[in-house]
Structure 1
């Protein structure tokens, strides 16, 4: 992959990082994770920002690859990317900010469906861009387990 325009590349990297940061800022109550009942396999709190930073960078890189392609369906694919990013943004607010664990779980299932659709669309344009989204999908599936079990335990 050759970076055509470094400014555009960094913008694509910064968009998901900014969305994630704003989501945490607006959700406000992330400290509640330390006091709620958690299921087995729950990672310690410090793991989440590290994992999400890596995932957001992969998202940005993946979306950049799609954006520089000559494929006529890149616009529609990037719209799906934007919608799933919005769902990602809202999940933290629903889960942490409002403590609506069941609604957050349902929202997360919709996000997972959007991620699958995004991966499918990205794959048609660039298999690499799709592969870069696989860790995100796997993490969200794990998050769905955590979210559902937190709903059940609290």
Structure 2
């Protein structure tokens, strides 16, 4: 298993594969938003503080991705290929991102018990919740030196 940080030097090499992976394996309600964000991403955007894009390769194939904007405050996705969802790949990905950036945030649907359990096992902390645009409840998780005041009070219930 290989963790690769995507930067402006390797973005063009992996861009098409990342977009195909998101289209095939993204969760239905988030796929179009995730795809649109990644499709519009330019290689220079990867130099922005808090813009993070990592992939996990197994035998040369992408099995997981993590993408964050503004350390996850604006946008965050963690997608794992279905055949690897019951493994520790996402835990290792959560930890890898934390070790590289020090702090990040992500939202997880409150019904996604598996993803919540993996986040907790990886050391993330759930500290508040919000109602999403689709009316679902999402839990905010923070990793590293997170602080609840980083989340805009207007967005939180």
Structure with the higher helix share, 1 or 2: 1
Structure with the higher strand share, 1 or 2: 2
Q: Fold-level match, TM-score > 0.5?
A: no
TM-score (norm 2): 0.33
TM-score (norm 1): 0.33
Larger RCO of the pair (alpha carbons < 8 Å, separation 6+): 1
Q: Which has the larger radius of gyration?
A: 1
